[in-house]
């Protein structure tokens, strides 16, 4: 598949998974989940899905990530029905820590900046 075809498929999987989580998933642990990015392997057999969890604790983040892993089969089946592609990729979920890192960097900069 061409690079542009792969990029479009990643975007479509991102959009469809977001819709499935919003409208079809019934587990309350999934209500806090936002799909951040999708990266496909070149053979389209695997999709690494970066997610963000809106929560105040690490425990809630872990619970939401565990719920995603528990419902992997449901999500993959719903994705297959929505996309109509030959092979639906295996889904691998991981927490995106970009926001946390940015927050920590901003705090360090505030702590170590000269005060005026």
pLDDT tens, 27-61? Answer: 999 999 999 999 999 999 999 999 999 888 889 99
- At residue 90, what are phi and psi to the nearest 5 degrees? -70, 140
Q: Could you tell me the pLDDT band of residue 3, with boundaries at 50, 70 and 90?
A: low
- Residue showing tokens 């499935």: 20
**Domain covering 3-112: architecture:** 2-Layer Sandwich (3.30)
Model confidence at 108, in pLDDT bands (50, 70, 90)?
Answer: confident
Does the pLDDT value for residue 1 go beyond 70? no
Q: What is the pLDDT of residue 49?
A: 97
pLDDT at 91 > cutoff 90: yes
In the chain, where the domains are located: 3-112
Give the span between the Cα atoms of 5 and 13, in whole angstroms: 12
Look-up of token digits 């565990």: 66
């Amino acid at each position: 598949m061409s690079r542009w075809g792969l990029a479009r498929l990643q975007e479509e999987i991102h959009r469809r998974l977001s819709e499935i989580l919003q409208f079809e998933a019934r587990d309350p642990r999934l209500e806090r989940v936002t799909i951040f990015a999708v990266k496909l392997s070149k053979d389209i057999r695997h999709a690494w899905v970066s997610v963000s969890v809106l929560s105040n604790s690490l425990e809630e983040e872990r619970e939401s990530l565990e719920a995603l892993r528990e419902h992997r089969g449901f999500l993959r089946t719903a994705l297959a029905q929505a996309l109509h592609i030959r092979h639906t990729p295996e889904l691998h979920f991981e927490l995106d820590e970009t926001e946390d890192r940015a927050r920590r960097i901003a705090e360090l900069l505030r702590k170590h900046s000269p005060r005026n």
